[in-house]
Amino acid sequence: MYWMFIINDLAINNLVLSAEKIAEYLLQNEVWQYTPMTPNAKKITKGDKVLIYLAGRERRYFYATFEIKEPINLP
C-alpha cells in the first residue's frame, strides 16, 4: 500500500518549527508519531511505502520517501 504524509510548519506561541526541520528530525531518527486519531493508522502495515509532502506557504513539493519497517502499535 502507498501513503502520503503531509507536513506543515508547527507554530507554538512565538516558536515556529519549519516543515523541513520536522521532516528531517523524523527521518534522521527513524520515528513517526501516530495516535488513535491518525487517519487510517490501523491500515498502515510493515512494507508500506510513504511519500512525504511538505505543505504551506511557498512550499508545495514532495520531499522524501520511506518504507514502514514495523507494525504500528497504537495506545
For 13-60, the pLDDT digits (tens) are 999 999 999 999 999 999 888 888 988 999 999 999 999 999 988 899
Burial of 53 (0-12, 13-18, 19+ CB in 10 A): middle
pLDDT for residue 62: 97
Task: Map residue 4 onto helix, strand or coil.
Answer: strand
H-helix or E-strand containing 26? helix 19-28
pLDDT for residue 12: 93
Residues 60 and 36 sit within 8 Å (Cβ to Cβ): no
Task: Map residue 25 onto helix, strand or coil.
Answer: helix
